[in-house]
Chain A
Amino acid sequence: ETGVTQSPTHLIKTRGQQVTLRCSSQSGHNTVSWYQQALGQGPQFIFQYYREEENGRGNFPPRFSGLQFPNYSSELNVNALELDDSALYLCASSVDRGGEQYFGPGTRLTVT
């Protein structure tokens, strides 16, 4: 059974640019949640996708957007990058919306 995978591992972008992060969910999971973890902090919920629809959103501006595909993999897009967007971005998959969440290794984004 393959676990949750994320790509890329690391990424460096310039302020104002756009970025796309990718996540493949664990086999049999139809729900993906995205979290932002700033240095020294706990993860913060960005949004969740369930069967290709957004199913809940945290306190993040609209420039954070996402997609889920028919195979339940997901993308997180961030437009107009700001320095404060530098963080570890984690995705987690689960069996349905209420299931235990299993996390990928994360993508480390640095905005300069």
Chain B
Amino acid sequence: GEDVEQSLFLSVREGDSSVINCTYTDSSSTYLYWYKQEPGAGLQLLTYIFSNMDMKQDQRLTVLLNKKDKHLSLRIADTQTGDSAIYFCAESPLLTGANNLFFGTGTRLTVIP
């Protein structure tokens, strides 16, 4: 079955870049997503990448996909205290038809002022 793994914690200083990593097992995934969850809130879609792409940039966010190694990363440039949250990567397998998302356990990003 699908398995998505992330490291649990990351701390960075304000102004530095953050890199959050994710590995997944399902090679048939069509889309891979990054979501942000702030305390007590739902999930906010940050960005996504189609599986035939290597990189996607969206303002301060850069997504890198290594399909061979099934490795996805999210880089946040110039990290701010407002970026402190839990970040989830999620994959959407091709064949389920329901576009159900499989999520990792989340990486808690702490930004130190």
Does B associate with A? yes
> Which A residues have a C-beta under 8 Å from some C-beta of B?
4, 31, 33, 35, 40-45, 47-48, 50, 55-58, 90, 92, 94, 97-106
> In the complex, which residues of chain B have a beta carbon less than 8 angstroms from the beta carbon of A48?
98-100
Q: Given A90-B42, A103-B42, do A42 and B99 touch, yes or no (CB 8 Å)?
A: no
Contacts between chains A and B (CB distance < 8 A), count: 67
Whether the Cβ atoms of B43 and A103 lie closer than 8 Å is yes
In the bound complex, what is the Cα–Cα distance between A65 and B35 (angstroms)?
26
Contacts of A42 in B (CB 8 A): 4, 88, 90, 103-106
One digit per residue, 1 when the CB lies within 8 angstroms of any chain A CB and 0 when it does not, for chain B 27-71 equals 000000101000001111100100000000000000000000000
Q: Is the CB of B99 within 8 A of A99?
A: yes
Docked-complex contact B4 and A97, CB < 8 angstroms: no
